[in-house]
Amino acid sequence: MTNIPTPHIEAKSPDEIASTVLMPGDPLRAKFIADTYLENVTCFNQVRGMLGFTGTYHGKRVSVMGSGMGIPSSMIYYHELYAFYQVDTIIRIGTAGSMQEFIKLKDIVVATASISDSAINKGKFGNFEFCPTPDFDLVLGCYELAKKMGITCHFGPVVSGDQFYTEPSDDDNKLAKYGCLVGEMESYGLYTQARSLQKRALAMFTVSDSMLEHSADSSKDREQGYTQMMELALELAPQ
Protein backbone atom coordinates (compact mmCIF):
# COMPACT_ATOMS: atom_id res chain seq x y z
CA MET A 1 0.00 0.00 0.00
CA THR A 2 1.71 3.16 -1.23
CA ASN A 3 0.09 5.54 1.28
CA ILE A 4 1.94 4.05 4.26
CA PRO A 5 3.97 4.77 6.22
CA THR A 6 2.30 8.18 6.40
CA PRO A 7 4.12 11.42 7.26
CA HIS A 8 2.99 11.08 10.89
CA ILE A 9 2.64 7.32 11.54
CA GLU A 10 5.56 4.99 10.90
CA ALA A 11 3.68 1.67 10.94
CA LYS A 12 4.58 -0.14 7.72
CA SER A 13 1.44 -2.26 7.54
CA PRO A 14 -2.20 -1.90 8.63
CA ASP A 15 -1.72 -5.16 10.54
CA GLU A 16 0.42 -3.31 13.08
CA ILE A 17 -2.62 -1.34 14.26
CA ALA A 18 -5.83 -2.86 15.63
CA SER A 19 -9.21 -2.03 14.10
CA THR A 20 -10.07 -0.11 17.30
CA VAL A 21 -7.81 2.66 18.58
CA LEU A 22 -8.16 4.45 21.92
CA MET A 23 -6.87 8.01 21.64
CA PRO A 24 -5.91 10.30 24.50
CA GLY A 25 -4.33 13.62 23.66
CA ASP A 26 -1.28 12.90 25.80
CA PRO A 27 1.09 10.27 24.34
CA LEU A 28 2.28 9.50 27.88
CA ARG A 29 -1.28 8.57 28.80
CA ALA A 30 -1.20 6.19 25.83
CA LYS A 31 2.02 4.66 27.18
CA PHE A 32 0.51 4.36 30.67
CA ILE A 33 -2.49 2.48 29.27
CA ALA A 34 -0.27 0.15 27.26
CA ASP A 35 2.00 -0.52 30.23
CA THR A 36 -0.86 -0.99 32.70
CA TYR A 37 -3.55 -2.82 30.77
CA LEU A 38 -2.21 -4.41 27.58
CA GLU A 39 -0.30 -7.66 27.03
CA ASN A 40 2.06 -8.58 24.18
CA VAL A 41 2.59 -4.90 23.45
CA THR A 42 4.38 -3.56 20.39
CA CYS A 43 5.11 0.10 19.64
CA PHE A 44 3.96 1.09 16.14
CA ASN A 45 4.70 4.80 16.29
CA GLN A 46 7.22 7.22 17.78
CA VAL A 47 7.15 9.94 15.09
CA ARG A 48 7.12 13.40 16.70
CA GLY A 49 6.87 11.67 20.08
CA MET A 50 3.24 10.70 19.38
CA LEU A 51 3.46 7.24 20.85
CA GLY A 52 1.26 4.42 19.56
CA PHE A 53 0.99 0.85 20.88
CA THR A 54 -0.88 -2.33 19.99
CA GLY A 55 -1.54 -5.19 22.39
CA THR A 56 -4.29 -7.38 23.80
CA TYR A 57 -6.76 -6.63 26.55
CA HIS A 58 -8.39 -9.81 27.93
CA GLY A 59 -7.63 -11.45 24.60
CA LYS A 60 -9.05 -8.57 22.57
CA ARG A 61 -6.65 -6.78 20.21
CA VAL A 62 -6.64 -3.02 20.70
CA SER A 63 -4.35 -0.07 19.95
CA VAL A 64 -3.80 3.15 21.88
CA MET A 65 -2.18 6.30 20.51
CA GLY A 66 -1.81 9.97 21.41
CA SER A 67 -3.37 12.63 19.20
CA GLY A 68 -1.96 15.88 20.52
CA MET A 69 -4.13 18.83 21.54
CA GLY A 70 -6.72 20.53 19.38
CA ILE A 71 -8.69 19.77 16.25
CA PRO A 72 -5.90 20.47 13.69
CA SER A 73 -3.40 18.10 15.34
CA SER A 74 -5.82 15.32 16.15
CA MET A 75 -7.52 15.29 12.74
CA ILE A 76 -4.22 14.41 11.09
CA TYR A 77 -4.10 11.18 13.09
CA TYR A 78 -7.83 10.44 12.79
CA HIS A 79 -7.61 10.74 9.00
CA GLU A 80 -4.46 8.66 8.59
CA LEU A 81 -5.74 5.90 10.89
CA TYR A 82 -9.16 5.73 9.23
CA ALA A 83 -8.09 6.26 5.61
CA PHE A 84 -4.77 4.41 5.39
CA TYR A 85 -4.58 1.88 8.24
CA GLN A 86 -8.05 0.33 7.98
CA VAL A 87 -9.04 1.46 11.48
CA ASP A 88 -12.80 1.12 11.95
CA THR A 89 -13.35 2.63 15.40
CA ILE A 90 -11.69 5.44 17.36
CA ILE A 91 -12.63 6.02 20.99
CA ARG A 92 -11.33 9.30 22.33
CA ILE A 93 -10.37 9.24 26.01
CA GLY A 94 -9.69 12.86 26.79
CA THR A 95 -10.05 15.50 29.45
CA ALA A 96 -12.54 18.34 29.66
CA GLY A 97 -13.65 21.32 31.72
CA SER A 98 -17.04 21.25 33.40
CA MET A 99 -19.64 23.82 32.33
CA GLN A 100 -22.33 22.62 34.76
CA GLU A 101 -22.49 22.73 38.54
CA PHE A 102 -23.56 19.09 38.80
CA ILE A 103 -20.51 17.86 36.86
CA LYS A 104 -17.52 17.59 39.19
CA LEU A 105 -13.83 16.79 38.91
CA LYS A 106 -13.20 13.18 37.78
CA ASP A 107 -16.76 12.70 36.50
CA ILE A 108 -17.00 11.01 33.09
CA VAL A 109 -18.83 12.70 30.22
CA VAL A 110 -19.76 11.10 26.88
CA ALA A 111 -20.33 13.44 23.95
CA THR A 112 -23.64 12.77 22.18
CA ALA A 113 -23.01 15.75 19.89
CA SER A 114 -20.18 18.23 19.38
CA ILE A 115 -20.57 21.99 18.91
CA SER A 116 -17.63 24.10 17.82
CA ASP A 117 -16.35 27.51 16.81
CA SER A 118 -13.89 25.75 14.49
CA ALA A 119 -13.91 26.76 10.84
CA ILE A 120 -13.13 23.27 9.49
CA ASN A 121 -16.69 22.84 8.18
CA LYS A 122 -17.34 26.49 7.34
CA GLY A 123 -19.24 26.71 4.05
CA LYS A 124 -19.14 22.96 3.51
CA PHE A 125 -22.88 22.60 4.08
CA GLY A 126 -24.05 25.93 2.67
CA ASN A 127 -26.13 27.84 5.20
CA PHE A 128 -26.33 24.88 7.56
CA GLU A 129 -24.13 24.49 10.65
CA PHE A 130 -22.97 20.87 10.86
CA CYS A 131 -23.16 19.34 14.33
CA PRO A 132 -21.48 15.91 14.12
CA THR A 133 -22.57 13.05 16.34
CA PRO A 134 -21.01 9.74 17.45
CA ASP A 135 -21.85 6.20 16.43
CA PHE A 136 -25.15 5.35 18.13
CA ASP A 137 -24.24 1.73 18.87
CA LEU A 138 -21.12 2.91 20.71
CA VAL A 139 -23.17 5.41 22.72
CA LEU A 140 -25.73 2.75 23.65
CA GLY A 141 -23.01 0.20 24.43
CA CYS A 142 -21.18 2.72 26.61
CA TYR A 143 -24.37 3.56 28.51
CA GLU A 144 -25.17 -0.09 29.21
CA LEU A 145 -21.58 -0.98 30.06
CA ALA A 146 -21.18 1.96 32.44
CA LYS A 147 -24.27 0.83 34.35
CA LYS A 148 -22.94 -2.72 34.52
CA MET A 149 -19.56 -1.48 35.81
CA GLY A 150 -21.17 0.90 38.31
CA ILE A 151 -19.65 3.98 36.65
CA THR A 152 -21.67 7.19 36.58
CA CYS A 153 -21.50 8.87 33.18
CA HIS A 154 -23.11 12.06 31.96
CA PHE A 155 -24.35 11.96 28.36
CA GLY A 156 -24.96 15.12 26.36
CA PRO A 157 -23.61 17.76 23.95
CA VAL A 158 -20.14 19.19 24.44
CA VAL A 159 -18.33 22.30 23.23
CA SER A 160 -15.24 21.55 21.17
CA GLY A 161 -13.28 24.79 21.05
CA ASP A 162 -10.38 25.97 18.94
CA GLN A 163 -8.64 27.75 21.82
CA PHE A 164 -7.58 26.69 25.31
CA TYR A 165 -7.04 30.20 26.65
CA THR A 166 -9.92 32.55 25.84
CA GLU A 167 -11.34 35.81 27.09
CA PRO A 168 -14.44 35.52 29.33
CA SER A 169 -17.54 35.45 27.15
CA ASP A 170 -21.27 35.22 27.57
CA ASP A 171 -21.22 32.54 24.89
CA ASP A 172 -20.16 29.96 27.50
CA ASN A 173 -23.14 30.87 29.68
CA LYS A 174 -25.50 30.56 26.73
CA LEU A 175 -24.07 27.19 25.72
CA ALA A 176 -24.34 25.93 29.31
CA LYS A 177 -27.93 27.19 29.49
CA TYR A 178 -28.73 25.13 26.40
CA GLY A 179 -27.34 21.99 28.01
CA CYS A 180 -23.71 21.76 26.95
CA LEU A 181 -21.89 19.75 29.59
CA VAL A 182 -18.15 20.38 29.17
CA GLY A 183 -15.61 22.17 27.05
CA GLU A 184 -12.84 20.29 25.22
CA MET A 185 -10.85 20.55 21.99
CA GLU A 186 -11.02 17.43 19.82
CA SER A 187 -14.41 15.69 19.48
CA TYR A 188 -15.71 17.95 16.69
CA GLY A 189 -12.82 16.90 14.46
CA LEU A 190 -13.18 13.23 15.40
CA TYR A 191 -16.90 13.06 14.74
CA THR A 192 -16.58 15.03 11.50
CA GLN A 193 -13.81 12.75 10.21
CA ALA A 194 -15.69 9.59 11.17
CA ARG A 195 -18.88 10.76 9.44
CA SER A 196 -16.94 11.77 6.34
CA LEU A 197 -15.32 8.35 5.98
CA GLN A 198 -18.27 6.25 7.24
CA LYS A 199 -16.33 5.09 10.29
CA ARG A 200 -17.23 4.75 13.97
CA ALA A 201 -16.29 7.15 16.74
CA LEU A 202 -17.05 7.99 20.34
CA ALA A 203 -15.56 10.66 22.59
CA MET A 204 -15.53 10.35 26.36
CA PHE A 205 -13.83 12.61 28.85
CA THR A 206 -12.81 12.73 32.47
CA VAL A 207 -13.43 16.16 33.93
CA SER A 208 -10.02 17.56 34.81
CA ASP A 209 -11.06 21.11 35.66
CA SER A 210 -14.12 23.22 36.34
CA MET A 211 -14.87 26.50 34.64
CA LEU A 212 -17.28 27.34 37.46
CA GLU A 213 -15.23 26.36 40.49
CA HIS A 214 -11.83 27.29 39.00
CA SER A 215 -10.34 23.98 40.15
CA ALA A 216 -8.10 21.60 38.23
CA ASP A 217 -6.28 18.27 38.53
CA SER A 218 -2.51 17.95 38.25
CA SER A 219 -0.69 16.88 35.10
CA LYS A 220 0.14 13.54 36.78
CA ASP A 221 -3.54 12.95 37.52
CA ARG A 222 -4.33 13.64 33.87
CA GLU A 223 -1.68 11.18 32.72
CA GLN A 224 -2.29 8.27 35.09
CA GLY A 225 -5.29 8.96 37.33
CA TYR A 226 -8.30 8.51 35.09
CA THR A 227 -8.45 4.72 35.25
CA GLN A 228 -12.26 4.45 35.29
CA MET A 229 -12.46 6.06 31.86
CA MET A 230 -9.58 3.94 30.56
CA GLU A 231 -11.20 0.71 31.76
CA LEU A 232 -14.62 1.71 30.40
CA ALA A 233 -13.12 2.42 26.96
CA LEU A 234 -11.11 -0.82 26.94
CA GLU A 235 -14.19 -2.86 27.82
CA LEU A 236 -16.24 -0.99 25.20
CA ALA A 237 -13.72 -1.54 22.39
CA PRO A 238 -15.23 -3.97 19.83
CA GLN A 239 -13.55 -7.32 19.22
Transcribe 131-165 into DSSP letters. -----HHHHHHHHHHHHHHT--EEEEEEEE-S-SS
Query: Which residues lie closer than 8 Å to 219 by C-beta, 6 or more apart?
Result: none
Asked if the bond preceding 14 is cis, omega within 30° of 0, the reply is: no
Nearest to 38 by CA among 65, 13, 12, 69: 65
Does 162 participate in catalysis according to the annotation? no
CA distances from 54 to 14, 29, 69 (A): 11, 14, 21
Pairing, β 200-210 against β 182-184? unpaired
Residues 43 and 53: their CA atoms lie apart, in Å, by 4
Q: Which residues pair with 63 in a beta bridge?
A: 21, 54
H or E segment at 98? Answer: strand 89-98
> What does the angle CA 174 – CA 108 – CA 32 come to, to the nearest 5 degrees?
130
Residues 137, 170, 172, 209: which is the catalytic one?
209
For the chain, the straight-line distance linking the first and the last C-alpha, in angstroms and rounded, comes to 25
Distance, in Å, from the CA atom of 189 to the CA atom of 200, rounded to the nearest integer, reads 13
- Catalytic residues, by residue number, are 209
